[in-house]
Amino acid sequence: MGLKLFDKVFGKEFMDSVPSSVGVYEFKVEAKTIYVGKANNLRDRIRQYRNTTRKKIHKKMREIVRVATDLTFHVVESEQEALLLENQLIQELTPEFNVSGAFSFMYPALGVCYDDRVFYLCYSTDPESFDHTVFKLHGVYRSRDCTKEAYCSLVRILSVLGHREPRHRLKQFPQMPYTHISGFRQLRSELAVELSNFLNGKNRDFLRMAIELLLEKTIGKSEEGKVQEAIRSLVVFFREEANRLKKAKKKSGFEGEFLSQTERDRTFILARFAE
């Protein structure tokens, strides 16, 4: 029987050097890290790489082993330390084979601003470009799809409740990549307050208020169906993103309303192990 792929790359005696400890491992090509992972038992985890088959489920592991030239370890005291170190290394090194945690720079934020009787709403995966004294930003959230859908749903509802501003009237906000901004007139200022609470995961009073105001409007049947779908999307967003983020911040001891893209994963790891 021929040598396993792992043994051809790292040698038959390599497994003897792998500690049976909690830790983080790095597959490298020369000095460049191509994959970072964590394990409660490093030896058991690396043995899985050694014993891969040609099944589809092992495809990624086999590809990592095939291109790697080195494998190093970081032994730590606990699973929490391993997760925090794994997250840190992924953010710093952006290994090509890592997906989860490697794209924190794409986590989206939603923002609200009420100025001179105009209600502004924004969506962005580049919140660092915003003046936080103008927009009250919330997030960041994990899912771009769910958050973008929430933004579109809010635009639909607010467009019914007020009058949407054309783009040429938003000149005070320069066009930025990965960002959408909408403005609305003739909306109650209380809506901005309640929307901030909603986006921060505190409560769903914004939806209650919006529904009450929508009932006062005359809406065509086709538009009514779209508004109902928008409300359902916002209920999902509140449950899956806003409220979940609020709970994680509370458990982790994070103080403040806005969680940056680089802080989000760390906060959820700390929350997971909080008593």
- Sorted by where each starts, the structural domains of the chain and their CATH numbers stand as 5-93 (3.40.1440.10), 106-244 (no CATH)
- Nearest-angstrom CA–CA distance, 9 and 69: 7
Strand partners of residue 164: 184
| Mean pLDDT for the stretch of residues 268-273 | 95
pLDDT of residue 2: 52
Nearest to 65 by CA among 94, 45, 82: 45
The residue type found at 191 is L
pLDDT of residue 159: 95
pTM (2 d.p.): 0.87
How many residues are present in the chain?
A: 275
| Mean pLDDT for the stretch of residues 129-136 | 80
- Nearest-angstrom CA–CA distance, 114 and 84: 38
Assign 223 a pLDDT band (cuts: 50, 70, 90): confident
Q: What is the pLDDT of residues 145-161, one digit of tens each?
A: 999 999 999 999 999 99
Q: What is the pLDDT of residues 101-118, one digit of tens each?
A: 778 889 999 999 988 788
Q: Taking a C-beta distance cutoff of 8 angstroms, is the pair 201, 247 a contact?
A: yes
Chain CA centroid to CA 230, Å: 21
pLDDT of residue 99: 83
Nearest to 138 by CA among 154, 123, 149: 123
On the question of pLDDT at 1 being above 50, the answer is no
